[in-house]
Structure 1
Amino acid sequence: MVTGAELIALAAGFEGKHSQAFPFFGSEKRGPPVEAYCRIDEKPIEIHEEISEPDIVIVSDPSILGAVDVCRGMKENGIVIVNSPKKPEELGLRAKYVFTVDATTVALKHFKKMILNTVMLGAFCKVTGIVGIDSMKRAINESFTGKMSDAVTQANILAVQEVYGLVPAPGSGGAGSNGMTAVKMPVQTGKKAGQKKGASE
């Protein structure tokens, strides 16, 4: 989910907000990152460290739910957005707000494979309202142009827009008590949910 965090930060920047995004590699600092973080604020961000008390958690790979406590440290009004065809109440997550969207079906439709990093960002925009969908699509376009084919870039934009339309919830906010929004993204672990070069990073 490193690209997802970077895209959120870039989209926030387009709206005049301060932001940062970075991966977290765990205590061993070897191998792929285990989480990705993003902070957004109206004022300059002076910290750069692991997010232990997130306002929002985005779960692209639902298979981690049984192995990882995605709600650990979550703030009182925390939001969890999960890629799942199930209803939120079926997941049994101890968060005040839980939203689900079947991003896998959308990804298979647009990419013919399970590439979920960017797809879930449509749900993030719809649920939180922290960044607008147009800013997110601009971030995808500017990040992917020159690195991916035009067809792949447009597929990512269309997938994000479709997921945005599937989520019925209006913007629910998500900023912490200090005005900063902290987003945590557990990185996908399953091979089927892994990223494929040439479609999305």
Structure 2
Amino acid sequence: MKRKYIQVRWHGRGGQGAVTAAMILSEAAFEEGYRGVTAAPFFGAERRGAPVIATNRFSWRPIRTYSLVVEPDIVVVLDETLVETVDVTAGLAADGLVLINSRRHPEDFPFSDRFTVATTDATRCAKEAGLVIAGAVISNTAILGGFARATSLVSLESLEKALANHFHGDALEKNRRGGQLAFERTILAGECTLECA
């Protein structure tokens, strides 16, 4: 369904890079040709490992709304354990999409009968791409490839251009590879029909 702008809400844990992923997604949307793009983090008293939220909006026209997204069209979940403790689908549009970093099949999630669900094992993709720092697998950029595959709202090429704003050399190549692997391995149950008017 067409809408004025696409709204995305990210659920992650402190230190997983949800805020960075939201920022890179906004840059990729701009590269794709969207002229209204925003990324907004929600900071509270969070610490590493605590649930965090970040949001995006993008549109073909300028956006003058900068508040946090409370009625998203798309929800991205970086840590699937949050599905058990947080209502990640709160406010989600009836034709909305939930993208989860998980090895599981989309239909394994209890809300798959109400929403379109996509899964990608971004953690495994990131690990295979060498995105490991001090033993921690950094999957936030890999899941962006899953976003491109599940939504078709941004291309892998636009994501790669946005990644180049943040990474160079070997780090850029690893992040590109992680995104490519997630793009190839994303499983979508149903069809994402979201698009900007």
User: TM-score, normalised on structure 1?
Assistant: 0.78
CA–CA distance in structure 2, aligned partners of residues 104 and 31 of structure 1:
22
Shift of 1:167: 2.1
More divergent stretch after superposition (93-102 vs 75-84): 93-102
For the Cα contact (< 8 Å) 1:55–1:74, is it kept in 2?
yes
Partner of 1:155: 174
Match of 1:128 among 151, 154, 165: 151
Please give the residue correspondences for 1:168-187 in structure 2 after superposition, counting only pairs within 5 Å. Answer: 168-169=187-188, 172-175=192-195, 179=196
Distance in 2 between residues matched to 1:23 and 1:89, nearest whole Å: 30
**Which residue, 20, 26, 32 being the options, matches 1:9?**
26
Q: Tell me whether 1:43 sits opposite 2:58 in the alignment.
A: no
User: Is the CA contact (8 Å cut-off) linking 1:19 and 1:38 kept in structure 2?
Assistant: yes
- Provide, for residues 125-152 of structure 1, a one-character-per-residue CA deviation record: whole Å limited to 9, x for no partner: 011111111000110012223xxxx211
Structure with a larger share of its residues in strand: 2
Rounded to whole Å, the distance in 1 between the matches of 2:127 and 2:180 is 15
CA 171–3 in structure 1, closer or farther in 2 if over 3 Å, else same:
farther
Which structure has more relative contact order (CA 8 Å, sep 6+)? It is 1
1:167 pairs with 2:186: yes
What SS class does the counterpart of residue 92 from structure 1 fall into?
coil
The reply to whether residue 141 of structure 1 matches residue 175 of structure 2 is: no
- Structure 2 residues not aligned, in runs of 5+: 1-17
Equivalent residue of 2:94, what SS? Answer: coil
CA RMSD of aligned residues (A): 1.9
Structure 2 CA distance for partners of 1:136 and 1:173, relative to 1, 3 Å: farther
CA deviation after TM superposition for structure 1 residue 15, in Å: 2.2
Q: 2:72 aligns with which of 51, 54, 67?
A: 54
Identity of aligned residues (%): 31
Cα distance in 1 for residues equivalent to 2:193 and 2:167: 28
CA distance in 2, matches of 1:41, 1:157: 25
